[in-house]
């Protein structure tokens, strides 16, 4: 008796049974702790926006620096602007003021360098004012 066709048939049946898709599981059960209802809890209210003190400090330093520059105190203005830059190095208005102050002090190369850097951070009219220093 030849068992080969019988073994091939049994092997084929075995492969066909294995080729089917695995049984699907339902969603995981939701376990509710004792004493709580199954109702969803409301999301917490978002916190009010926080005004960063550095932003206020930088604005104050910018105002003081403009006053110093307009009063002819370019060294004092530059010191104030450098302090403001350490607090907020990504503010376009700061670089514009640095460019203006260096130009007032007669440092055209420095004014251009700060204007070029400020173009990375500027918004609105700051950009065109900074661009004028780069020409």
CATH 1.25.40.10 fits 53-133, yes or no: yes
The region of weakest confidence among 5-14, 48-57, 71-80, 106-115 is: 48-57
| DSSP 8-state symbol, 101 | H
Report the half-sphere exposure of 15 (CA within 13 A, side-chain side).
6
pTM more than 0.75: no
pLDDT, tens digit, 9 for 90 and up, residues 43-62: 666 666 554 566 789 999 99
* pLDDT tens, residue by residue, 48-100: 655 456 678 999 999 999 999 999 999 999 999 999 999 999 999 999 999 99
Query: Does residue 11 have a pLDDT over 60?
Result: yes
Cα gap 116→131, rounded to integer Å:
7
- Segments making up each domain of the chain, as ranges: 53-133
Q: Is 19 exposed, middle or buried (0-12, 13-18, 19+ CB in 10 A)?
A: exposed
Among the ranges given (3-12, 27-36, 74-83), the one the predictor scored with the smallest mean pLDDT: 27-36
């Amino acid at each position: 008796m030849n068992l080969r066709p019988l073994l091939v048939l049994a092997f084929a049946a075995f492969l066909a049974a294995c080729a089917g898709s695995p049984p699907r599981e339902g969603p995981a059960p939701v376990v509710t702790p004792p004493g709580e209802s199954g109702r969803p809890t409301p999301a917490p209210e978002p916190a009010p926006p926080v005004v960063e003190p550095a932003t206020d400090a930088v604005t104050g330093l910018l105002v003081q620096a403009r006053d110093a520059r307009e009063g002819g105190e370019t060294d004092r203005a530059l010191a104030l602007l450098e302090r403001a830059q350490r607090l907020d190095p990504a503010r376009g208005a700061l670089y514009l003021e640095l460019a203006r102050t260096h130009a007032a002090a007669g440092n055209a190369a420095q004014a251009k360098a700060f204007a070029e850097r400020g173009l990375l951070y500027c918004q609105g009219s700051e950009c065109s004012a900074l661009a004028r220093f780069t020409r």
